[in-house]
Amino acid sequence: MEILVCIKQVPDDSVEIFLNENTQKPDLEKVTPVVNAFDTYALEMAVRLKEAAGGEVTVLSVGDDSVKNSLKNCMAVGADHAYLCKLDDYNETDTFTIAQSLKESKEEIEKQTGKTFDIIFCGKESTDFASAQVGPVLAEMMDIPVITGIVDIEEKDGGVETRQETEEGYHVISCQGLCLVTVNKPKYDPRYPTIKSKMAARKKAIDELDTAKAGVTVLHTEKVYTPAKRSAGVKIQAESAEEAVAQAMDLMKKAKVF
């Protein structure tokens, strides 16, 4: 199975990111760029599918030169090939530009390598803007079906069978032919690279594409601001649990929370 995984580089989501009031931009200084968490789940699921069904995994990202490092990291955890569609300011670009650029890049990769992809993986959403749009829009642009928020996939009867998480349980959805899936957090965690796999990834090439294609601007950001912050209340550090609970109860009664 020929698998394409689309990834986005985002600021490390385990770090709290706030607005820099001077620049009116998120303060990303000292924040390490990482592969979007949901894309790491998508990559892990794709690599497991490859291991079960054969074929290769290609990763693709739209971004600037710094994204090469993230692409190398993907190759250290199971991706066979990596492509970067060059676009500076990719984080301030709209969904349609990103989706259009991914579509053009996919077609260019197919032209260059002579292979055709059987399935496209995206993360369900990115951890920075979390708009959950790129996957469905890309599928719509390519006129192929999309199955969102999957937590499992296997090859079946020449197509795929997926498990889509729902509010109450799950759907089993199958598809024959090219489709796009977006991935939610599965039961397992993505694998870690080994020293050996990291060394091997470092030697592999990342192919650059100039397939970025801007879409029409429909949305404008009028204002960026910080939400009203809650302030910390009383922290009780008492000698005993009994004492702490007594103090907490007093405060809660005063606040009439019951």
Find the binding residues for ligand FAD in span 31-50 (CB under 6 A).
37
Give the Cα separation of 234 and 244 in Å (integer): 11
Q: Which is nearer to ligand FAD, 127 or 211 (CB)?
A: 127
Only segment of 54-62, 73-81, 112-120, 176-184 that touches another protein (CB under 8 A): 176-184
Among 61, 91, 105, 127, binds ligand FAD (CB under 6 A): 127
244 binds another protein (CB under 8 A): yes
Q: Pick out residues in 17-36 that bind another protein (CB under 8 A).
A: 17-19, 26
Give the up-direction half-sphere exposure of residue 56: CA atoms within 13 A in the CB hemisphere: 10
In three-state secondary structure terms, 201 is helix
Among 132, 155, 191, 204, binds another protein (CB under 8 A): 132
Amino acid letter, 257:
V
105 binds ligand FAD (CB under 6 A): no
Q: Which is nearer to ligand FAD, 74 or 87 (CB)?
A: 74
Angle, helices 134-142 vs 95-113, to 10°: value is 50
Q: Which is nearer to ligand FAD, 13 or 80 (CB)?
A: 13
Amino acid letter, 34:
V
Burial of 87 (0-12, 13-18, 19+ CB in 10 A): buried
How far apart are CB 60 and ligand FAD at their closest, in Å?
A: 21
Among 1, 53, 68, 145, binds another protein (CB under 8 A): 145
Burial of 237 (0-12, 13-18, 19+ CB in 10 A): exposed
Token pair 């091997």 is found at 200
221 binds another protein (CB under 8 A): yes
Amino acid letter, 134:
V
Residues in the site for ligand FAD, rule: CB under 6 A? Answer: 13, 37, 127
